[in-house]
């Protein structure tokens, strides 16, 4: 409650101090929750059941997609996260009415007529670039600031821009801003991606659902979140075939109409809690998951000595014996091992009885958590895209700072098994992706609280 009040007061303060009364300031803004910290007293095995939240990486593009509809949409299972708030703030700024009630969000895009996104809002959420395709398709023009680099290293948008250009968007770069316009309706075309970028695939899908003619995306991303976005759009009246495969075909339609839709469960939150169960020698049941989406991570946990059993939309993970190393984790586009699960699984491997090897193939700067894990006593060496983890007998509590979302979650995973007290700061990163990390972990026996 106090945390929420603080967020509210801080947001109100920011709105007035920044002269941004026109829209609601998202809670993740720098400084908002930086004073919070998690206090973790490690060493308690986790036991019990957890319900898995909706997927952030699905909810965000689906929220953006509501902009394209002629009528309101009702979304369920949207996780209560600062990134979701940031998307809602952008939608409101653009002129949508957005009503959020817990995990349900109603978006009415009828009055949306603004085509720019203020720089403050662009910077708030990394995936805001995906608004570009939707705004251009809806309004025929857009002005957004160039998204900067981020905590994972430079995040280029060349694939997004070249794809949108192929669909007919004229894009001029102007001192950190992208000024875009279209000459009438966008035109479907054949787009070949040199890498199956998740964000670029989403941008193309959003730009092309109402384009004239047919768009084909070759080497499209195959992530479950792409399939979820396609399913939402199809329910709205879009004609999309092949989502989840390497070639997606989109036959443009004149209009799409809002619908009621439930976002898929978050496979990365599930993988994080699996790592927490494994490192503490616990026994957790995760409910409301999609087992198929987690297939890429199961081998790592089984290799680590865990028993993983699945049934319907539930899984049970337990570890009784030794924690074994994971020999070779290579992050790859889906259905490969997800880059987002690399850090939590690495945290797990710090206490394994041997050497684990990680190869990060998606982002060049995704090992920042390793220096913080070392503060807890982990033995990790990083050389370029390779990290070598020599398992240690014990981790010891220490002050650590989250510097990115999944790296932050990895610190919590390690802290749960460390001897003594760990204080985790930088929670604004963790709060971007985990709706209730301390409440979830408390409910299964962890000694963790936020101050
Ligand atoms: C990526 C992950 C996604 C994850 C998300 C959040 C992959 C393939 N994608 O999605 O699973 O949920 O981060 O952590 O694992 N790139 C370019 N030019 C572009 C776009 C991307 O070079 O225009 C490069 C990126 O620098 C990166 C790679 O392609 O090396 C993957 O990027 P992309 O899939 O677009 O990233 P996200 O959409 O953020």
Tell me how far apart the alpha carbons of residues 147 and 150 are, in angstroms, rounded to a whole number.
Answer: 9
| Distance from the alpha carbon of residue 221 to the mean position of ligand 1, in angstroms | 9
Q: How far apart are CA 123 and CA 19, in angstroms?
A: 17
**pLDDT attached to residue 123:** 83
Torsion sign across C-alpha atoms 172, 177, 182, 185: positive
pLDDT at 1: 38
* Residue 13 predicted with pLDDT over 70: no
Domain ranges of the chain: 35-53+266-450, 56-262
Mutate to test the pocket of ligand 1, among 129, 178, 198 (most ligand atoms within 8 A of CB): 198
Residue 150, pLDDT score = 58
Average pLDDT (389-413) is: 97
Ligand 1 and 429: CB distance under 6 A: no
110-119 pLDDT per residue, tens: 999 999 999 9
Residue 17 pLDDT more than 80? no
- Between 413 and 34, whose confidence is greater? 413
Least confident of 305-314, 358-367, 418-427: 358-367
224 is in an annotated binding site: no
Mean pLDDT of the chain: 91
Lowest mean pLDDT among 22-26, 251-255, 293-297: 22-26
Q: Does 156 carry a binding-site annotation?
A: yes
Q: Which atom of ligand 1 is nearest to the CA of 157?
A: 23
Catalytic residue of the set 96, 136, 150, 353: 150
Cβ pair 271, 331 in contact under 8 A: no
Tokens for 434, please give them: 């985990």
CA of 191 to the centre of ligand 1 (A): 17
pLDDT of residue 112: 96
pTM: 0.92
Label residue 35 by pLDDT band (50, 70, 90).
confident
Nearest Cα residue to atom 6 of ligand 1: 340
Helices (H) and strands (E) in the chain, counts: 16, 24
- How many other CB atoms are there within 10 angstroms of residue 324's CB atom? 18
pLDDT digits (tens, 9 = 90+) for 227-276: 999 999 999 999 999 999 999 999 999 999 999 999 999 999 999 999 99
Instruction: Give me the mean pLDDT over the 127-138 stretch.
Output: 94
Find out whether the beta carbon of 271 lies less than 6 Å from any atom of ligand 1: no
Q: Report d(CA 414, CA 40) in Å as an integer.
A: 10
- Residue, of 122 and 149, whose pLDDT is higher: 122
Q: How confident is the model at residue 405 (pLDDT cuts 50, 70, 90)?
A: very high
Q: 3-12, 51-60, 104-113, 276-285: lowest mean pLDDT where? A: 3-12
Q: Does domain 56-262 have CATH number 3.65.10.10?
A: yes
How would residue 151 be classed by pLDDT, with cut points 50, 70 and 90?
low
Burial (CB count <10 Å: 0-12, 13-18, 19+), residue 43: middle
What is the structure's pLDDT at 390? 98
Q: Is the pLDDT of residue 59 over 90?
A: yes
pLDDT for res 146: 78
pLDDT range class, residue 66, cuts 50, 70, 90: very high
Per cent of the chain over pLDDT 90 is 85
For the segment 443-450, the average pLDDT, to the nearest whole number, is 98
pLDDT of residue 153: 63
DSSP states along 202-256: HHHHHHHTTSBSEEEEET----HHHHHHHHHHHHTT-EEE-BTBSEEEEE--S-B
Q: Known catalytic residue: 69?
A: no
Query: What residue owns the CA closest to ligand 1's atom 32?
Result: 197
Q: Give the model's pLDDT for residue 152.
A: 65
Shared fold status for 35-53+266-450 and 56-262: yes
pLDDT of residue 4: 40
Ligand 1 and 370: CB distance under 6 A: no
Per-residue confidence (pLDDT) for residue 148, from 0 to 100: 56
Q: HSE of 71 in the Cβ direction (CA atoms, 13 Å)?
A: 10
pLDDT band at 364 (very low <50, low <70, confident <90, very high): confident
Domain at 35-53+266-450: CATH code: 3.65.10.10
């Amino acid at each position: 409650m106090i945390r929420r009040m603080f967020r509210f007061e801080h947001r109100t303060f920011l709105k007035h101090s920044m002269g941004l009364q026109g829209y609601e300031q998202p809670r993740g803004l720098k400084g908002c929750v930086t004073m919070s910290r998690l206090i973790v007293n490690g060493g308690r095995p986790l036991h019990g059941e957890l319900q898995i939240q909706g997927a952030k990486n699905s909810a965000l593009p689906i929220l953006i997609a509501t902009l394209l509809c002629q009528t309101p949409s009702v979304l369920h299972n949207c996780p209560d996260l600062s990134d979701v708030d940031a998307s809602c703030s952008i939608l409101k700024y653009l002129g949508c009415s957005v009503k959020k009630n817990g995990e349900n969000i109603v978006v009415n895009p009828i009055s949306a007529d603004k085509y720019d996104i203020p720089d403050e809002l662009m910077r708030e959420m990394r995936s805001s670039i995906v608004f570009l395709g939707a705004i251009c398709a809806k309004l025929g023009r857009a002005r957004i600031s160039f998204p900067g680099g981020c905590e994972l290293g430079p995040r280029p948008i060349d694939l997004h821009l070249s794809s949108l250009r192929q669909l007919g968007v004229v894009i001029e770069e102007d001192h950190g801003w992208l000024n875009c316009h279209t000459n009438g309706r966008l035109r479907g075309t054949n787009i070949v991606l040199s890498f199956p970028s998740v964000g670029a695939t989403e941008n193309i899908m959003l730009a092309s659902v109402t384009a004239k003619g047919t768009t084909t995306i070759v080497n499209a991303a195959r992530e479950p979140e792409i399939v979820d976005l396609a399913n939402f759009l199809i329910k709205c009246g879009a004609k999309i075939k092949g989502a989840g495969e390497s070639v997606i075909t989109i036959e443009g339609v004149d209009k799409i109409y809002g619908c009621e839709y439930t976002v898929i469960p978050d496979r990365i939150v599930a993988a994080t809690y699996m790592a927490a169960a494994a490192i503490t020698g616990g026994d957790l049941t995760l409910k409301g998951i999609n087992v198929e989406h987690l297939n890429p991570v199961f081998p790592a946990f089984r290799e680590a000595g865990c028993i993983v059993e699945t049934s319907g939309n539930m899984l049970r993970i337990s570890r009784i014996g030794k924690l074994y190393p994971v020999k070779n984790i290579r992050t790859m586009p889906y259905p490969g091992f997800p880059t987002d699960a690399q850090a939590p699984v690495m945290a797990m491997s710090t206490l394994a009885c041997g050497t684990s090897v990680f190869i990060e193939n998606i982002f060049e700067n995704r090992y920042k958590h390793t220096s913080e894990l070392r503060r807890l006593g982990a033995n990790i060496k990083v050389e370029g895209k390779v990290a070598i983890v020599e398992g240690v007998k014990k981790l010891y509590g220490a002050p650590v700072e989250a510097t990115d979302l999944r790296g932050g979650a990895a610190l919590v995973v390690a802290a749960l098994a460390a001897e003594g007290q760990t204080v985790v700061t930088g929670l604004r990163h963790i709060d971007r992706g985990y709706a209730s990390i301390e409440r979830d972990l408390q409910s299964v026996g962890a000694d963790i609280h936020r101050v």
